[in-house]
Amino acid sequence: MKHHSHLPRRCVVCALGLVLALPVLAHDGAHGPDVMADVVSAVASGDAVTVSVTLTGLGGPLRLIAVSAEGAATPPMPPADVRFAEDVPVDVTLRFARGVPDIFTLVFDFGMAGRGAVSVVPQQAVPD
């Protein structure tokens, strides 16, 4: 019966290999564009918020074609090219139908390269 003693050990090794591979399999294809977004400022006034973001390219060239947030109207913007190790400032003003939320997700659309997102916590404008 000694020839069967390695069977449970082999099953455990195989099962452990599958469990360790699951995060890699689940992550496969889940990549967004290679870009870093840094929210420099987000100032709310009434139903609008002006967000200033610096995008930094971490990979190949990207073209930002749109910025959006759920529940907000965003004016069209000219495309912005983001190259490797280049900082690109992006300013956008969003208008919310139900007032500016305390926190929202700003989505960057890079066309075929995919989308990226960043959380924004706006500050209220200081009255003059």
Task: Name all domains of the chain by residue range, CATH numbers in brackets.
Answer: 35-124 (2.60.40.1890)
pLDDT of 17 reads 37
Has residue 15 got a pLDDT over 80?
no
- The end-to-end CA distance of the chain, in Å, is 87
Give percent above pLDDT 70 in the chain.
Answer: 75
Residue 65 backbone dihedrals phi, psi, to 5 degrees: -110, -20
pLDDT for the residue 111: 94
Question: Between these two residues, 33 and 20, which has the higher pLDDT value?
Answer: 33
**How confident is the model at residue 14, as a pLDDT?**
39
The DSSP call for residue 60 is: S
For 13-22, 64-73, 106-115, which range has the lowest pLDDT when averaged over its residues?
A: 13-22
Residue pointed to by tokens 């009255």 = 127
Cα–Cα distance, 40 to 53 (Å, whole number): 5
Residues comprising the chain, all counted? 128
